[in-house]
Amino acid sequence: MGANVPVLAYVSSDNADLVLAAEVVVESKKPQEVENFKDLAEAMIGQPVWQEKTLPYVRANITKIQYFVLTTFTDFAIVPITTDLRRRFVAVSKGQEDEDTLKNAFRKQTVLFQLRPSLPHTDPRSTAAWREWIQIHFAPSALAPVAISEINNSAPSAQS
């Protein structure tokens, strides 16, 4: 069987055709693969997910990524990749920042959702909240291009 690869989401179909850096990167896990973690936010920064998925997938898409998602399809952890997080990923790649500091910043940005009928619609992690969040944040019009200066500062050639 082939290697496990993330789902990449694009605003531009041309970028998708060329498999360029994506705006949204989604990694899925079976519930039993993350059952030893308190929640998916902890799983994203825990081992082996951090070294095998989170860190390499964000780095591979660093020039365009706006969201990293870890999901079991009933639980979702979504991290907006802010200017600060992008800078921290580059600094860690260059050995200029501690990886634990990056993990802490990454964890603090995480938004959690649970698609379970038991949660009331008013719960910020509920299915209703997830649907609304997705409609607002993942609409192509909401995925504004990353500033050219950020792209230049985070491009692989700038990391050497």
- Does any domain span residue 160? no
In 15-156, DSSP assigns E strands to 24-28, 67-71, 75-80, 111-114
pTM value is: 0.82
* Each residue's pLDDT tens digit, 71-90: 999 999 999 999 999 999 99
- Domain range for residue 22? 7-147
pLDDT for position 1? 41
The total domain count for the chain is 1
- Does any domain span residue 64? yes
CA distance 43 to 103: 11
Cα 143–chain centre separation: 14
- Which residue, among 37, 30, 44, 33, has the nearest Cα to 79 in the 3D structure? 44
pLDDT for position 127? 86
- Does any domain span residue 59? yes
* Each residue's pLDDT tens digit, 109-124: 999 999 877 778 888 8
Least confident window among 28-37, 83-92, 100-109, 114-123: 114-123
- Does any domain span residue 155? no
Burial label for 32, CB within 10 Å (0-12, 13-18, 19+), is: exposed
